[in-house]
Amino acid sequence: MTTPSALSTRETRNRLHELTVIDVRTPGEYAGGHLPGALNIPLDRIRRALTDVRQAADRGAVLVVCASGARSENACRILAENGITTATLSGGTSAWAAEGHDLHRPEGNPRATWGMERQVRLTAGTVVLLGLLLGLLVHPAFQILSAGIAAGLVFSALTNTCGMAALLAKLPHNRTGAADLDATLAALRGRR
């Protein structure tokens, strides 16, 4: 198994012309702005793209990015388990944008969605408030909803994974169609 490395935004900017950049965020997040030339292969579809990513890695360096670095680290781990050497961008597209670098958006201005972290915060907060409200107005047992979300957040922090994000990624506005992924993989195969 290969060990993924991390590139700083400075290293990435200097090497961007030689990197194949794969953005593992949801299509909606990708539409909100991505590194120049990045191809969108959502994390939940990365296993389907193993052959094409391996071929890209054989041709040159592959950089995997997401919003903050957590999902790209997970993608790099999956790729490493399959013998594919990749790197991740330290701090993700958030760090890239914070340093004033351009983010590109798909042509035709597809609808961007909130970032996954923001979607998780909204969902978790809503369920906690709902559990507390129903616990006060209907029956105290509804407070278990709030306790469940709290336990999930603790588990998420300890494991650097997020089950809620995995579920939210399956919602239609966060999914890519099979045709979109096929087009992305064809573009990946066409890169030299």
25 burial (CB, 10 Å; 0-12 / 13-18 / 19+) is buried
**Distance separating alpha carbons of residues 131 and 21, to the nearest angstrom:** 42
**Distance separating alpha carbons of residues 118 and 168, to the nearest angstrom:** 11
Q: 162 an active-site residue?
A: no
Of 168, 191, 14, nearest in space to 99 by CA: 14
Which amino acid makes up residue 129? L
Beta strands in the chain (DSSP E): 5-7, 20-23, 39-40, 62-65, 87-89
Q: Which of 62, 66, 124, 164 is catalytic?
A: 66
Which residues are annotated as catalytic? 66
